[in-house]
Amino acid sequence: MPKQIIESKKVPAPIGPYSQGVIANGFFFASGQVAFDPATGELVLSDIKSETKQVMENIQSLLEAANLGFANVVKTTIFLSDMALFAQVNEVYGSYFTSNFPARETVAVKTLPRNVNVEISITAVIEL
């Protein structure tokens, strides 16, 4: 089965040579999302909870473009600018998952694109 590129106008366009999402071999892979508000094209950086909420909303838009939902997500990776943000990010992140939680890793990195505080990528299965 050839790979299928997934795009959503509800998510900011890629700023480099990558796709927003790709379906291949029964999996959906979403590129890391930061807190771009697609309505304004601006980053939401007022506070970490608002930033994380925008990231999760962007992920939700990509999942919907692939006809999937958070229940399909099997793996997430969270990149943080500072591990001290973990509890607040985790609180918002956790509100998007109700059960059968995905596997996850969270790492602090030196710098993220556009100096954001959080970036999240996901892998989802097409069929549950």
CATH code of the domain in which 121 resides: 3.30.1330.40
What are phi and psi for residue 64, nearest 5 degrees?
-65, -35
pLDDT at 93 over 90: yes
Render pLDDT for 6-25 as a digit per residue (tens, 0 to 9). 999 999 888 889 999 999 99
Residue 12, CA distances (Å) to 26, 39, 59, 91 in order: 25, 9, 11, 24
Render pLDDT for 26-75 as a digit per residue (tens, 0 to 9). 999 999 999 999 999 899 999 999 999 999 999 999 999 999 999 999 99
Helices (H) and strands (E) in the chain, counts: 2, 8
The pLDDT, as a whole number, for residue 24 is 97
**Closest to 65 (Cα-Cα) out of 17, 29, 25:** 29
Q: What is the dihedral of CA 117, 38, 23, 70, to 10 degrees?
A: 70
The pLDDT, as a whole number, for residue 128 is 84
The pLDDT, as a whole number, for residue 115 is 95
The pLDDT, as a whole number, for residue 98 is 87
Rounded to an integer, the average pLDDT of 93-114 is: 96
pLDDT at 97 over 80: yes
pLDDT at 84 over 80: yes
Domain range for 106:
4-125
Render pLDDT for 107-125 as a digit per residue (tens, 0 to 9). 999 999 999 999 999 999 9
Task: For tokens 């608002």, name the residue.
Answer: 50
Counting the structural domains of the chain, the total is 1
The pLDDT, as a whole number, for residue 15 is 83
